[in-house]
Structure 1
């Protein structure tokens, strides 16, 4: 039951991390906006919450000396998967920090043309403090605060990875996978071959299409003519 619960938590963490990776790739592009940055913030916080809970469960299980045999090997496989997921999350968070710093949502405004407008200071201040200016200022504050928070969260994830390695000694190269390398690709390839084979059998057992046979014969004749012409040109040259 404990391993199944850890698997469910790890599966949720993988999905949230994959979603965060997809969102990070759009930072700085045409789809970038404050809504995207807010969604990034919520997604990475959710990923960190799942990572903390999963780390606590796996650490407690692997530090239990009564855990032996296949059950321990299963938890070690989950531990390796969790470590890799956490490494990817940290890398995406660093990428989001770099892209967010390079492409800020609201750049500081610098007047390029002096209009010569003058007047009472209170009136000028009243016009400047419009609803649009206040909203722009709030959005700018969110951008700066989010990047600062992201830096702190990156340090927290790095510290979590370091603590994991200190508390639980599970070298990745010592953990054996259930399947050999490329097993999933082989199973997909076998399924594709079987489907193609079934289709070919159905085609052979079905009635012959004379129009397709004629088209194939004409195509073969044209191809042979092209090959013969190429050979003749090569000899003459």
Structure 2
């Protein structure tokens, strides 16, 4: 039961980490926006929560000396996959921190162009500018606070990785995979070869229709004659 729970949590962590990776790739691009930065914040927080829970469950299981050999091998495979997810998450968080600092969403407002218009319209413009300044300041505060929070979280994920290696010693090169390397490619190639073989076997069994062959020959002759006639007309 614990193994299935760890698999489910690791699967959720893997999907969340992949989602965060794709979101980070759009920072600084044409799709970058305030909504994207907020979605990045929510996704990485969810990933960190899943990482803490999954790491705690796997640590308890692997430190159990009474664990069966088969179960231990499975938990070690889950541990290696979990370590890979954490490495990717840490790298993407560092990338998001660098891109967020290099491409801030909001810059200080420039003063409006003075048109010389006075009166009620200038008061309306002043109120609009004031509202815009407040909105801009709030968004700017979010960017600054989010970058500081992201910087702290990057350090926390790095400490989590170091703490994992201290509590559980599972070298990645000692964990055996459940299937041989390239098994999926070999299976797909064998399926493709079998399908090609089926086609090659079926093709010789198709009989040639003499009437269709004669019609094709006559059509080719007529086409060649038309081309020769067209060339002669062009020369004349």
Same fold by TM-score, threshold 0.5 exceeded?
Answer: yes
Please tell me the root mean square deviation across aligned C-alpha atoms, in Å: 2.8
Gap change, CA 1:203 and 1:48, over 3 Å in 2: farther
Deviations 1:136-195 (A, max 9, x none): 111111111111110011111111101100000111111111112222222222233333
Aligned to 2:139: 139
Name stretches of at least 5 consecutive residues in structure 1 with no aligned partner. 219-237
Gap change, CA 1:188 and 1:128, over 3 Å in 2: same
Name stretches of at least 5 consecutive residues in structure 2 with no aligned partner. 221-236
Structure-2 separation of matches of 1:69 and 1:16: 30
Structure-2 separation of matches of 1:15 and 1:197: 38
* Residue correspondences, number: 211
1:108 counterpart = 2:108: yes
Structure-2 separation of matches of 1:96 and 1:72: 36
Q: Map 1:77-226 onto structure 2 (within 5 A).
A: 77-111=77-111, 127=127, 130-206=130-206
Give the TM-score, by structure 2 length.
Answer: 0.79
Structure-2 separation of matches of 1:110 and 1:42: 32
SS at match of 1:130: helix
Structure-2 separation of matches of 1:19 and 1:73: 29
What is the Cα deviation at residue 202 of structure 1?
Answer: 4.5
Structure-1 separation of matches of 2:191 and 2:35: 42
Greater radius of gyration (CA): 2
Structure-2 separation of matches of 1:145 and 1:161: 25
SS at match of 2:177: coil
